[in-house]
């Protein structure tokens, strides 16, 4: 899989005075790659996936919009 876009990181303090960080992945384009060099391109129209961490590496990921994906997987 190839994803093209940008990252955005934000920091905030929650109501318990704990510093938290969010890194958002803003995908402009995604391509499914196979072993033979062929590609299938999907325009994600600025889909955002969010990962939140709390000082250590505990993380969660928001779902990515999959409405534009082709259900016909070639493998």
Q: Which domain holds residue 27?
A: 2-61
H or E stretch at 37: none
Count the Cβ atoms, other than its own, within 10 Å of residue 14. Answer: 9
User: Residue 68 domain-assigned?
Assistant: no
- Per-residue DSSP letters for 17-36? S-EEEEEEEEEEEEEEE-TT
6 pLDDT band, cuts 50/70/90, is very high
The DSSP bridge partners found for residue 28 are none
User: Residue 73 domain-assigned?
Assistant: no
User: Residue 69 domain-assigned?
Assistant: no
User: Residue 12 domain-assigned?
Assistant: yes
Count the Cβ atoms, other than its own, within 10 Å of residue 29. Answer: 13
pLDDT reported for residue 21: 94
User: 13-45: per-residue pLDDT in tens?
Assistant: 999 999 999 999 999 999 998 876 555 555 655
User: Residue 75 domain-assigned?
Assistant: no
User: Residue 71 domain-assigned?
Assistant: no
Q: What is the number of domains present in the chain?
A: 1
User: Residue 36 domain-assigned?
Assistant: yes
- How much is the pTM? 0.38
């Amino acid at each position: 899989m190839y994803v093209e876009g940008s990252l955005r990181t934000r920091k905030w303090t929650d109501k318990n005075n704990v510093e938290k960080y969010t890194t958002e992945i803003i995908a402009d384009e995604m391509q499914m790659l196979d072993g033979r060099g062929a590609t299938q391109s999907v325009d994600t129209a600025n889909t955002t996936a969010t990962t939140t961490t709390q000082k250590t590496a505990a993380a969660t990921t928001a779902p990515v919009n999959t409405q534009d994906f082709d259900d016909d997987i070639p493998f």
